[in-house]
A and B are shown apart, each in its own frame.
Chain A
Amino acid sequence: MPMLNKLIRSREGQLVIFTAVFFLAVGIVSPTFLSFQTVDSILTDSAILMIMASVQMMIILTRGIDLTLAANIALSGMVAALIGMYWPETPLFLVIGAAVASGLLLGVLNAVFIALLGIPAIVVSLGAMTVYRGMVFVLSGGQWVNSQEMSAAFQAFPLNRMFGLTNLAVIGIVLTILFMILMRHTRFGRELYAIGGNPAATDYVGINTKARLFAVYVLAGTAGGLCGYLWVARFAIAYTEIALGFELLTVAACVIGGVGIAGGTGSVLGAALGALFLGVLQNALPVMGISPFWQMAVSGLAILAAVIVNSRGRRKRGQQILRVSN
């Protein structure tokens, strides 16, 4: 049983097992939880977080962080919503294209400061997230775009079904798989791991570190743009504060999924599973009858627990995930 052994010992395997056990345990307490509807809504609810956690993982892997992802969703989503409102005749693919282009542009802006100018990612993205959020306000004039102002096609796309799943879930799964392939099976992915592991050494190997980092931030921004449209269309509303604090949820998913905050370790699968776990948790808490007032605190505790398990588990193998600087 070497395969099973490997599965149990890997961070991803443990997370799958833990999530499954948790899922079943909730199901025993309230049997209605064990249904296709639950799985369907968990996948649909977690899709955006899966995508965003995957790109956040690539950035954290290279010793960076992108706090602008949530603001990017809000701004790109607003761009899509405004186009949908003022030009309802615009074909959907163009609306989505506009949101993606907006995200790409924001990604390029981040990349210029972080990758080319070498300013610390946390500083750049902390400033930029406020600027991008402010731009949502400027674009919309502080107004909401609500469901009456969006066309039916605009709203329907995320929840339309394909292969028995919502489009949102399908997009989430497909993109996650693509990102997994990108990180595990291409030279680009391997080089990102190397940059995260030792940026000085990659210079000596002749890898163009700046170009790789540039690409990562642009990719993350682009994904953010797509998710902007998905978010606004799914919830049928666009306003300045959507996805507020969501950037931290992407980081949390990465940490739960075993992505090393110090860079160099982790996997897309781990980050996506971390997102899925948060989705299960959020769907389970109401079912378990936990008061809405407590739900946030319980989610937070789960994240903390994951971090502690993470740092202890790695230490045993002689490798720390949260490196103590000395």
Chain B
Amino acid sequence: MSQVLVDQETTTPLLEVKDITKEFPGVRALDGVRLKIREGEVLALLGENGAGKSTLVKILTGVYQPTSGQVFRNGRPVSYTSAQQAWADGIAAIHQETIAFSELSVTENIFMGHPITKKGGLLDWKRMNEETQALLDRLGITDFIPQTLLKDLSVAQKHLVEVAKALSHDVSILIMDEPTAALSQKEVEELFVIVRKLRDEGKGILFISHRFDDIFSIADTFVVFRDGDFAGEGRIQGVDEDDLVRMMAGRSVEKEYRSRKTEAGEPVLVVDSLCHPTEFKDISFELRRGEVLGFYGLVGSGRSELMHVIFGLNKACSGSMTLNGAPYQPGKPEDAVSNGLAYVPEDRQDCGAILPMTVGENITLASLSKITGGLRLKPEKENEFARRYASLLKLKAHSLDQIVGTLSGGNQQKVVIGKWLGVDPDVIILDEPTKGIDVGAKAMVHSFVAELVDSGMSVILVSSELPEVLGLADRIVVMREGLMCATLQTGDTNQEEVVALATGLKTKQDSSCPC
């Protein structure tokens, strides 16, 4: 096998990325990255959250255009402006969250957009079903048929449909963006059998994953990105996990976002062996007054689900919580709010801001009981209240009457956070508070977290951005696949250790859940 690989070094790669830079307003997502995808090879693309992997995938599939740099396909410079062009040129991407029509059959999903028709223009279902069956046979899939509806398939099977769809376009490069994130071990094995089959057919595969297990069992070569920079490449043979972690995390300067006080207050929220039937198990931690407790983990590690239980949006099946010393059992979010909790959810547009309402109305929403003091609203008091928090957050809006839906993402997030400050909670949970907002707004949110804790509030910070967690949190809880791997003092740890724990390099897990 290694002989074959050496031969390929000299041939033209199927796809080559040279010095690609991609800038967004205020952010440089990619800064001169490079990689080569060769025939009959699985290339693993590694990097932390935010390293620029998804941005590159979007460039390769025509969703984004690079600011500078060039992509070569079989040595020929190309530039795609739509996913259709990329498909036509033999590049297909399978995303982590598969986009499928759940009420339609496997055949209909595969031929969506390029149906086979009979002479009269009617759809030729017989031929499409036959071709689908041929694709399934080629992939060795026997547990569903072309007529199966997508909604009846498991997540893993939907991935296989996506693979089949890519094959129906006769692609030569397949990009798989974290295909194993939602799969069980057995399903991963089955997927890998198919990936190897495709590789042996001479396809080039770009495989993006956080899991070292996956990478060592499937990849031939690797490339590492870090904060949008190229950080290293090579063959999987000859490196070990520690090498890769160092490349992924090895940042020279660690930024401090706030000065930490040494003394920690008394425990505010104590969580004791909390279990959820499917999302997480055996979670115990305590949050002290005036502390930022960071929660780090990969997507799907159960952090948000845990926060939902703490906020009463979901129920745990066992375990207990106390808040300020008293037993705390939220049945609904109302209970959580009245007990002094606040939650800034991850999905700003879907769960945070009320887009058709004005800035003022959004900010006062959670504090109406305080402002009204009775049945009737008091517009002057409301205005004054909203103005205070809007200016505190340096909100950029032309008036309090501006509709929130017309603000930028960062300013929307400020509105969502501002809504909670008026409530003056004891504990505020920030779930990915800086996701998808620009650098300036990010810095604003960071300095804000510092102010919150200084005023005696306790903050739970859920974030996938390691520098953010390391820079803000006093202690870090690392979660992996629904379990707590460790609770670390920020001062005594470093990026390598956190990444290693989160990606499962060092595992120690024993759960004792009754459910």
Contact = CB atoms under 8 A, between A and B. Distances in A.
Interface of A: 184-187, 190-191, 193-194, 196-198, 200-208, 260, 264-265, 318-319
Interface in B357-397: 357, 361, 365-366, 368-369, 372, 375-377
A187 B334 contact: no
Given A190-B361, A206-B333, A318-B405, A198 B376 contact: no
A206 to B, nearest CB: 3
Contact of A190 (B351, B355, B368, B406): B368
Contacts of A197: 354-357
Contacts of A191: 365, 368
Instruction: With a 10 A CB-CB cut-off, give which of A196, A198, A207 has the most chain B CB atoms.
Output: A198
A284 B419 CA distance: 49
22 contacts: A184-B377, A185-B376, A191-B368, A193-B357, A198-B353, A201-B345, A201-B354, A202-B354, A203-B333, A203-B351, A204-B333, A204-B345, A204-B352, A205-B337, A206-B333, A206-B334, A206-B336, A207-B334, A207-B365, A260-B356, A265-B356, A319-B406
Given A206-B333, A207-B334, A208-B332, A201 B353 contact: yes
B338 interface: yes
B406 A318 contact: yes
B308 to A, nearest CB: 10
B361 A319 contact: no
B313 to A, nearest CB: 7
B295 interface: no
A187 B334 CA distance: 15
Contacts of A264: 354-357
A255 B333 CA distance: 34
Please give me the 7 A-B residue pairs with the lowest Cβ-Cβ distance, nearest first.
A206-B337, A197-B354, A264-B356, A197-B356, A200-B351, A198-B354, A206-B334
A198 B362 CA distance: 11
B510 interface: no
B347 to A, nearest CB: 8
Interface residues of B, number: 32
Interface string B330-346: 00111011100001010
A204 B366 CA distance: 9
Contacts of B361: 190, 193-194
A194 B368 CA distance: 12
B350 interface: yes
A190 B336 CA distance: 21
Nearest to B376: A185
Contact of B343 (A202, A204, A207, A319): A204
Interface in B395-427: 403, 405-406, 419
Contacts of B311: 204
Contacts of A318: 403, 405-406
A191 to B, nearest CB: 7
Given A186-B375, A208-B332, A203 B357 contact: no
Given A185-B376, A194-B365, A205-B366, A319 B354 contact: no
Contacts of A202: 354, 365
Contacts of A194: 354, 357, 361, 365
Nearest to A265: B356
A187 B369 contact: yes
Nearest to B406: A318
Given A205-B337, A206-B333, A318-B405, A187 B354 contact: no
A202 B332 CA distance: 12
A45 B452 CA distance: 58
A202 B419 CA distance: 12
Interface in B460-475: none
A265 B338 CA distance: 28
Contacts of A319: 356, 403, 405-406
A206 B356 contact: no
B377 A185 contact: yes
A202 B365 CA distance: 9
A206 B357 contact: no
Instruction: With a 10 A CB-CB cut-off, give which of B313, B369, B375, B419 has the most chain A CB atoms.
Output: B375
B356 to A, nearest CB: 4
A122 B347 CA distance: 28
Contacts of B347: 200
Interface in B314-340: 332-334, 336-338
B82 to A, nearest CB: 17
A193 to B, nearest CB: 6
A203 B313 contact: yes
